[in-house]
Amino acid sequence: MPISLSELALRTGATVAGDGTVVVSRVATLESAGPGSIAFLANPRYRPQLAGTRASAVIVAPEMAAHTALPKLVGREPYAIYAKAASILHPAAPAVPGIHPSAVVDPGARVAASAAVGPNAVVGAGAVVGERARIGAGCVIGAGVAIGDDVTLHANVTIYDGCTVGPRTMLHSGVVIGGDGFGMAEEGGRWIKIPQVGRVVIGADVEIGANTTIDRGAIDDTIVEDDVKLDNLIQIGHNCRIGAHTAIAACAGIAGSTRIGRNCKIGGAAMLNGHIELCDGVVVSPGTGIMRSIDRPGVYSGFWPGLPHGEWKRIVLEAQGLRELAARVRRLGHAIADEGGDDQGGGRP
């Protein structure tokens, strides 16, 4: 998909500096780029690589423009320009419309003529598959599922009965949408399963990473709003609501009935307790567990950085000895008071 720098500027909203007739056909890193590539500098730590790059053009912020003589796209958000340029240079292959002969599509399903259903995929009764949607090989789409226009399901995705997926959403392989929530009542030391009769409702422009699971609601629905981005191996419990534009990194777990606001960022391996609510704009650091609702935007953390084993062990032991240390300090205070000293700092004469 070769394209001139000027054309690329037009389509990404960037400004050209230098020779706009230069043609590029792929993105590359500053380090690995060769002729025909366009590279980008978004993180200042890679600036030293700018001088030596063999790219045909680069994407930079205005303050970096003077540091290279190469033809370039300039804009305040070079990473966003790169994202757009990469999409233009590396478009997804268009779906080849049609239902593969090995696919099993229920006669009661409605598949758009422009959609592609891959080998050995299964589409249940009453399911609807939208225009230009792609259902990858081995996917299983339950009865009554609604798949929007331009949706991409990579291979081996499973969607249980009755769930819905909004337009332009992409689900990666191994994703499971609509499994039963973890709901059961205890009676006399045994468990009674509670049927999970809600659905999962996924908005538009969502992306869900490989092997992530989203459980259907117990009664009402589990909801993933528009433009939510979920990484791999994430668990979303039943009746959660994930607000629009929120991104969650890999290995995170969200327990049931929790609501996350809009434009939140949840770090990898973070864990959110059930039945809590995070307001819009909350950032949760990686590896952090959130036990209570949060009603102010900001960054929340609860993560111990790993240390050489001996140092770490010392901290654990010291923390376990804190009661003794505090007692000793109290005794010192008493001793000083007996001597006429005073440990009430504020009251010292």
Among 47, 54, 110, 229, binds a copy of itself (CB under 8 A): 229
165 binds a copy of itself (CB under 8 A): no
Helix axes of 5-12 and 78-89: crossing angle, nearest 10 degrees: 120
Q: For residues 231 and 66, what is the distance between their CA atoms, to the nearest angstrom?
A: 37
Q: For residues 24 and 34, what is the distance between their CA atoms, to the nearest angstrom?
A: 10
Q: For residues 134 and 132, what is the distance between their CA atoms, to the nearest angstrom?
A: 6
Q: Which is nearer to a copy of itself, 97 or 286 (CB)?
A: 286
To which residue do tokens 């001996």 refer?
310
Q: Which is nearer to a copy of itself, 130 or 142 (CB)?
A: 142
Tokens read off for 163: 């769930």
Calculate the dihedral angle through the C-alpha atoms of 22, 23, 27, 30, rounding to the nearest 10 degrees: -30
Among 6, 25, 49, 232, binds a copy of itself (CB under 8 A): 232
312 binds a copy of itself (CB under 8 A): yes
CA neighbor of 203 nearest in space, from 177, 232, 181: 177
Question: What SS3 state is found at 241?
Answer: strand
CA neighbor of 145 nearest in space, from 180, 108, 115: 108
In the region spanning residues 49 to 68, those forming contacts with a copy of itself, defined by CB under 8 A, are none
Q: Which stretch binds a copy of itself (CB under 8 A): 16-24, 60-68, 127-135, 206-214?
A: 206-214
Among 160, 166, 260, 264, binds a copy of itself (CB under 8 A): 160
Instruction: List the catalytic residues.
Output: 238
Q: Which is nearer to a copy of itself, 52 or 193 (CB)?
A: 193
The CB-based long-range contact list for 223-231 (8 Å cut-off, 24+ gap) reads 224/200, 225/262, 226/166, 227/203, 228/203, 230/206, 231/268
154 binds a copy of itself (CB under 8 A): yes
Tokens read off for 195: 């049927």
In the region spanning residues 86 to 125, those forming contacts with a copy of itself, defined by CB under 8 A, are 86-87, 90-92, 100, 102, 104, 118-120, 122
In the region spanning residues 236 to 295, those forming contacts with a copy of itself, defined by CB under 8 A, are 237, 245, 247, 249-251, 253, 255, 263, 268-269, 271, 273, 284-292
Size of the site for a copy of itself (CB under 8 A): 134
15 binds a copy of itself (CB under 8 A): no
Q: Which stretch binds a copy of itself (CB under 8 A): 1-9, 14-22, 107-115, 178-186?
A: 178-186
Give 255's Cβ-side CA count (13 Å radius).
Answer: 13
- The contact pattern for a copy of itself, residues 25-54, with x = CB under 8 A and - = no contact, is -xxxx--x----------------------
306 binds a copy of itself (CB under 8 A): yes
CA neighbor of 14 nearest in space, from 68, 65, 90: 65
Q: Which is nearer to a copy of itself, 65 or 137 (CB)?
A: 137
Output Rg (C-alpha) for the chain, integer angstroms. Answer: 27
Q: Which stretch binds a copy of itself (CB under 8 A): 55-63, 66-74, 107-115, 311-319?
A: 311-319
Count of C-beta atoms within a 10 Å radius of residue 206: 23
190 binds a copy of itself (CB under 8 A): yes
180 binds a copy of itself (CB under 8 A): yes
CA neighbor of 240 nearest in space, from 267, 211, 206, 276: 276
Among 44, 62, 79, 295, binds a copy of itself (CB under 8 A): 79
